[in-house]
Amino acid sequence: MESARDRYTREMVEGEDLWMLPQVDKYGYECGGCGIPVFPASYDQANLQRPHFKKQQNTPHKDGCNIDGDEKTVARGKKGSVRNELETSPDLSPSRLVLIDERPAVDPERKPSSEQTSTVRDTKRSDDEGLVRPKGRRAANSIRPICRAFIRFPFDRTMSLDVPGVEDKTYLQAFKKLGGKGVDLFSRARIFYAELAWAKPQEDGDFLVIPLSAGEWCDEKRWVKQYRVRVDRSKWSKHKRTKVSNELEVARLEGIDAKKTDSKLRPYVFFVAEQDSAEPEFFNISDHRLICAVVGTISYPDFKSGK
C-alpha cells in the first residue's frame, strides 16, 4: 500500500513521507479504508527503495474496506472514465491540496482519541456503527496523491482540483507539461511537470538544483537551455533534505532501469512553482510538499470522445 493513516494524527501518510521522520513508529499506522494495522516497510533513509505499508498476511481487510476496490478502479481508469467511483472514493482523486502545519510532535504514548482533529480528517468513527466510509473526495496534504491521480486517470482530468496558488481548477488545466522546444514564459503558477534528467541533481549549499529533461535541445545532443527546479532548503531539517533527495534518486534510478528494459515507465518530477522572472529556465520552490517524483506512464487520450 502506498499510503496509510497515522493512528495518532488521523492524517493520511504517503510511504515517501516516512523518509522524513527521525523515527518511524512501526505500530503507528492503519489501513485508511478499514483501520486494520499496517506496517511501514523500506523506510530506512539509507534504503533506496520506495517506502510503503504492508498488512499482516493473515489479517484480511475488513468488510467494506475500499482498498481492493480502489485497485480495480485504478486498473479500469487507464481505459476509460471511472468518474463515479472517483467521486465516492476518498483517496483516489483528491479534490484539493491543503497544506497543514508541519506534522505536530506526537506523543507516541497517547492513544488515538476522537477529540483529535485535523483539517483533512473526514473519516468518522463511531463505536456503534464501526467505521463510516467517508463520502466524497478527500483533500491531500502534499501534491503526490494529486499527481498520481493525474497519471492514473487520464479520462477523468476534467474533475475539479483546488491547489492554493494555482488559478486553474481542474486536473486538465492545473497541470502543465514542460516541453522540449525551447524555454517558454508562463504567466502563472501551475503544477508543472517534466521527465527527470538522467544527470544527478546538484547540491549547491542550501540549494538543490534538479535538471529536467525539457527546455531547448540542440543538435539532438545536448541542452542549450534546460529547465531546472531550484529548491531552497535553507529552512529544512536534515531528514527533509534526505527525503527529497531519496525520492528523486529512486525515481532517477527507476527511470534509467525502465529505459534499459524498454519499459514505458518514465520518472516525472511535479512541482507547484513560479518561474524565475530573471532566469526563466528556473523554477523556485521551498516547500517540500510542493514537489514530488512519480514513476509512471502519462497518456493523453481525447477525453471528450472517451478515446
Among 33, 40, 145, 154, binds Zn ion (CB under 5 A): 33
* Shortest distance, position 90 Cβ to Zn ion, whole Å: 12
Of residues 29 and 43, the one with the C-beta less far from Zn ion: 29
Does residue 4 bind Zn ion (CB under 5 A)? no
Determine the size of the site formed for Zn ion (CB under 5 A). Answer: 6
Please choose, out of 21-29, 30-38, 167-175, 248-256, the segment that lies near Zn ion by the rule CB under 5 A: 30-38
Does residue 65 bind Zn ion (CB under 5 A)? yes
* Shortest distance, position 5 Cβ to Zn ion, whole Å: 10
Q: What is the 3-state secondary structure (H, E, C) of the chain?
A: CCEEEECCCCCEEEHHHHHHCCCCCCCCEECCCCCCEEEEECCCCCCCCCCEEEECCCCCCCCCCCHHHHHHHHHHHCCCCCHHHHHHCCCCCCCEECCCCCCCCCCCCCCCCCCCCCCCCCCEEECCCEEECCCCCCEECCCHHHHHHHHHCHHHCCCECECCCCCCCEHHHHEEECCCECCCCCCCCEEEEEEECCCCCEEECCEEEEEEEEEEEECCCEEEEEEEEEEECCCCCHHHHHHHHHHHHHHHHHHHHHHHCCCCCEEEEEEEEEECCCCCCEEEECCHHHEEEEEECCCCCCCCCCC
Residues 48, 291: Cα–Cα separation, whole Å: 18
Among 21, 61, 173, 232, binds Zn ion (CB under 5 A): 61
Does residue 250 bind Zn ion (CB under 5 A)? no
Does residue 31 bind Zn ion (CB under 5 A)? yes
* Shortest distance, position 26 Cβ to Zn ion, whole Å: 18
Window 177-206: contact mask with Zn ion (x via CB under 5 A) = ------------------------------
Of residues 34 and 196, the one with the C-beta less far from Zn ion: 34
Of residues 91 and 254, the one with the C-beta less far from Zn ion: 91
Among 21, 67, 98, 131, binds Zn ion (CB under 5 A): 67
Task: Find the largest Cα–Cα distance for the chain.
Answer: 68
* Shortest distance, position 33 Cβ to Zn ion, whole Å: 4
Does residue 34 bind Zn ion (CB under 5 A)? yes
Of residues 121 and 176, the one with the C-beta less far from Zn ion: 121
* Shortest distance, position 55 Cβ to Zn ion, whole Å: 7
Query: Which residues lie near Zn ion (CB under 5 A)?
Result: 31, 33-34, 61, 65, 67
